[in-house]
Amino acid sequence: MTVFSDPKLVENYASRTQKIVPGFFDLHRMAIVLLDECVSDDAHILVLGAGGGLELKTFCEERPGWTFEGVDPSAEMLDLAREQLGPVASRVDFRVGYIHDVPQMSFDGATCFLTLHFLSERERRKTLQEVFLRLKPGAPFVLAHYSFPDQCTDQEKWLSRNAQFANRSMLPDEQIQKGVSEMRKRLPILSVREDEALLRAVGFENIEMFYAGFSLKGWVAYKPL
């Protein structure tokens, strides 16, 4: 994920991500609703892939009693998160690294947005297991990333729909399609069934999809009591 150390990408991250993800800020607010069902007013939340700070900003604004562990492999993206958060950045323990670099404390809940689709199935399973180990019994895990419909026969078509949604500068179709093809080669995207099977395999239960934006999907899952 060294691409997220590129200065130009870091600079444009917020505006670009809002264009790509349908209902981007609503996704964050939906996550708060799901977390609220299980956590207290002084919850400690693990945010995996916290670089950029966009979800952290919404969480901090709407839940002033929550504190966070924000982990990301890109120091540059975490610097951007600190900038986004301003004075409330003190409520976040920022950690450069991966999930295995996070101490095995018991978090009240966790989120992971737009991150897992960068990982191979093997890496993803290991990451999910490490998240599971760091949650309290009954804790919710809210996640969202690219995931294809089951039995999908035209994966690029689904990615193209997201690209067309984001195409507010009216780029030529051939340029959009080239970007979609490169994205399909670069990202090890799984199907919905495969994603949910991985969550079950590491121990999560009561897995429910709560969000779908073309090829982007979101779930909530729970660690058993």
Give the pLDDT score at 1. 45
What token pair was written down for 36?
């609220």
Euclidean distance between CA atoms 129 and 99, whole angstroms: 10
Euclidean distance between CA atoms 108 and 97, whole angstroms: 21
Does residue 161 sit within a domain? no
Does residue 165 sit within a domain? no
Does residue 179 sit within a domain? no
What token pair was written down for 142?
């809210």
The answer to whether residues 89 and 66 touch, using CB atoms and an 8 Å cutoff, is no
Does residue 182 sit within a domain? no
Task: Tokens 């999560």: give the residue.
Answer: 204
Amino acid code (one letter) for 181: S
Query: What is the number of domains present in the chain?
Result: 1
Euclidean distance between CA atoms 131 and 224, whole angstroms: 13
Does residue 154 sit within a domain? no
pTM exceeds 0.85: yes
| Mean per-residue pLDDT pooled into runs of 10, the chain (225 residues) | 60 77 94 98 98 96 98 95 95 97 95 96 98 98 96 85 74 63 84 98 98 96 98
The answer to whether residues 182 and 191 touch, using CB atoms and an 8 Å cutoff, is no
Amino acid code (one letter) for 88: V
Does residue 94 sit within a domain? yes
Three-class DSSP category at 198: helix
Task: Please provide the DSSP assignment of 54-74 as one string.
Answer: HHHHHHHHH-TT-EEEEEES-
For residue 34, the enclosing domain spans 2-149+188-222
The answer to whether residues 176 and 163 touch, using CB atoms and an 8 Å cutoff, is yes
Does residue 41 sit within a domain? yes
Residue 16: CATH number of its domain: 3.40.50.150
Does residue 34 sit within a domain? yes
